[in-house]
């Protein structure tokens, strides 16, 4: 079978939002730049509070990381709760931990409220320990979350093997707050809700200039312009053009995925039988999940677009045969890559570079929940003016040092590790 360069989530979401390019002048209360999860969540919550809103997208809804990610509805951020509070201080860190711990509930509430058909499952996620150090890390994380009242638990022995579907994992952290979904369908559902509430959505309307004109902002595209009292920049890792400093505040990284053809039979049914999404504790992690049709989806850090199909197929075979050897040979159907906005400390950044202008970057690979939360928070902040509506304080923009070099080093390290996996030097 030919391994196609095709995003599975796009294939499984045929009814995606349609929109024209902006042409002429438009006036609204708030202009949102970027039709991904963050921008659409902001637009939706602004509309719910009576604001007029337009969303400008350089390409099409969800075409960036919002529609190309793994589809894990994660609770929390990458950093463990105690570390967050230690780094940010008790008050700020505790607020961020609490807010992000409740993030999956916000996602699922939006899915319910707007009847978004995105194959959402709410059985949790499994963080799988690949060695003794991984077990210790997960035990620590489990204790930290349990002290905060979160419904998490360690699975070990036969219970762990049954939940994950592999004998290779001795322990896994089950987080019952979390879940999975089709990220393109979720993003498309948010966009449809925005337009139903009267929001205006424009595709193929890349911003070329952003100007302050008196008390309002003028957002200029190739064929039109939007005058707005407030602007939300929600382009994150897919920020384009020289009109903003935002893309200098992160360094881009990548995440690729490989999806099988639909699998049947007893061996396939034993893989993640509870419907959870999973990832392991390796520094260059592997993610594992199934979709509604029974496909096996494997993913890892790095770009797949610069690797030949045989390499990606060999890597997927290696991971599958390590964790699920009883499957035998698997036909790999499609592969795709998304871009991640990384920050050196793995924390997001919220900015207000000028009055009425807010921006965000640095989700570090947790876009579904973080984007939903930040979008709502921006909406609440712009309406109320109360910075307490934000999950963490606003910061001044500060360029990431040697961003290009960091990206190259990350990619080189990921590629070398994956080559070692293909050669069975490491796993």
304-362 pLDDT, tens per residue? 998 999 999 999 999 999 999 999 999 999 999 999 999 999 999 999 999 999 999 99
Q: What is the mean pLDDT of the chain?
A: 97
Question: Residue 173 in contact with residue 74, Cβ under 8 Å?
Answer: no
Distance in angstroms (rounded) separating the CA atoms of residues 296 and 258: 8
User: What would the mean pLDDT of 218-235 be, rounded to a whole number?
Assistant: 98
Q: Which residues contact 201 (CB under 8 A, 6 or more apart)?
A: 17, 19, 35, 54, 55, 57, 61, 191, 194, 195
pLDDT for position 120: 98
pLDDT-derived band at 417 (thresholds 50, 70, 90) equals: very high
pLDDT-derived band at 265 (thresholds 50, 70, 90) equals: very high
User: What would the mean pLDDT of 20-28 be, rounded to a whole number?
Assistant: 97
Tell me the residue ranges of DSSP E strands in 187-223: 200-202, 207-213, 216-221
Distance in angstroms (rounded) separating the CA atoms of residues 184 and 352: 29
User: What would the mean pLDDT of 125-144 be, rounded to a whole number?
Assistant: 97
Nearest Cα residue to 263 out of 240, 234, 228, 289: 289
Question: Residue 32 in contact with residue 232, Cβ under 8 Å?
Answer: yes
Map tokens 């900015």 to a residue.
351
36-83 pLDDT, tens per residue? 999 999 999 999 999 999 999 999 999 999 999 999 999 999 899 999
Which of 184 and 425 is assigned the larger pLDDT?
184
Q: End-to-end alpha-carbon separation of the chain, Å?
A: 25
Nearest Cα residue to 290 out of 331, 321, 259, 256: 259
108-125 pLDDT, tens per residue? 999 999 999 999 999 999
Q: Which tokens is 90 given?
A: 């008790």
Distance in angstroms (rounded) separating the CA atoms of residues 7 and 293: 15
Domain ranges of the chain: 4-422
pLDDT-derived band at 14 (thresholds 50, 70, 90) equals: confident
Crossing angle of helices 37-48 and 183-196, in 10° steps, is 30
Distance in angstroms (rounded) separating the CA atoms of residues 215 and 80: 42
Buried b (16+ CB within 10 A) or exposed e, 341-370: bbbeebbbbbbbeeebbbbbbbbbbbbbbb
| Surface-to-core class of residue 381, CB atoms within 10 Å of its CB (0-12 exposed, 13-18 middle, 19+ buried) | buried
Q: What is the DSSP letter of 326?
A: G
Distance in angstroms (rounded) separating the CA atoms of residues 401 and 408: 13
Q: Does the domain spanning 4-422 belong to CATH 3.60.20.30?
A: no
Distance in angstroms (rounded) separating the CA atoms of residues 312 and 304: 7
What percent of the chain has pLDDT above 70?
Answer: 100
SS3 111: helix
Report CA Rg, the chain.
21
Alpha helices in 272-339 (DSSP H): 309-323
Q: Give the H or E element holding residue 103.
A: helix 103-113
SS3 121: strand
pLDDT for position 77: 92
Q: Which tokens is 134 given?
A: 């991984």
Question: Residue 382 in contact with residue 46, Cβ under 8 Å?
Answer: yes
């Amino acid at each position: 079978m030919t391994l196609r360069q095709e995003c599975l989530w796009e294939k499984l979401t045929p009814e995606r939002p349609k929109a024209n390019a902006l042409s002429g002048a438009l006036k609204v209360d708030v202009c949102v730049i970027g039709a991904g999860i963050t921008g659409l969540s902001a637009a939706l919550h602004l509309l719910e509070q009576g604001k007029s809103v337009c969303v400008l997208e350089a390409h099409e809804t969800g075409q960036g990381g919002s529609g190309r990610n793994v589809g894990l509805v994660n609770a929390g951020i990458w950093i463990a709760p105690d570390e967050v509070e230690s780094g940010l201080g008790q008050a700020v860190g505790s607020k961020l931990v609490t807010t992000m711990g409740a993030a999956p509930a916000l996602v699922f509430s939006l899915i319910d409220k707007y009847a978004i058909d995105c194959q959402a499952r709410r059985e949790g996620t499994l963080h799988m320990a690949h060695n003794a150090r991984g077990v210790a890390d997960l035990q620590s994380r489990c204790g930290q979350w349990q002290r905060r009242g979160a419904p998490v638990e360690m699975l070990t022995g036969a219970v762990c093997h049954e939940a994950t579907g592999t004998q290779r994992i001795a322990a896994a952290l089950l987080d019952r707050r979390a879940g999975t979904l089709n990220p393109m369908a979720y993003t498309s559902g948010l966009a449809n809700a925005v337009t139903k509430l009267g929001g205006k959505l424009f595709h193929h309307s890349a911003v070329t200039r952003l100007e302050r004109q008196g008390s309002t902002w003028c957002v200029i595209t190739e064929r039109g312009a939007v005058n707005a009292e407030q602007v939300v920049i929600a382009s994150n890792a897919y920020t384009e053009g020289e009109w903003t400093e935002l893309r200098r505040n992160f360094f881009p990284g990548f995440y690729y995925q490989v999806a099988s053809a639909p699998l049947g039979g007893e061996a396939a049914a034993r893989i993640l039988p509870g419907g959870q999404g999973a990832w392991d504790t390796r520094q260059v992690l592997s993610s594992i999940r199934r979709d509604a049709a029974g496909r096996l989806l494997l993913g890892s850090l790095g770009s797949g677009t610069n690797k030949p199909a045989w390499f990606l197929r060999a890597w997927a075979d290696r991971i599958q045969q390590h964790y699920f050897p009883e499957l035998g040979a698997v036909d790999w159907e499609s592969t795709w890559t998304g871009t991640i906005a990384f920050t050196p400390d793995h924390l997001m950044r919220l900015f207000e570079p000028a009055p009425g202008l807010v921006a965000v970057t640095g989700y570090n690979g947790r876009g579904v929940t973080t984007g939903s939360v930040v979008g709502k928070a921006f909406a609440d902040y712009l309406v109320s003016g109360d910075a307490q509506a934000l999950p963490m304080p606003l910061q001044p923009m500060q360029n990431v040092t040697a961003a290009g070099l960091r990206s190259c080093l990350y990619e080189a390290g990921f590629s070398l590790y994956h080559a070692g996996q293909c050669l069975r030097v490491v796993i």
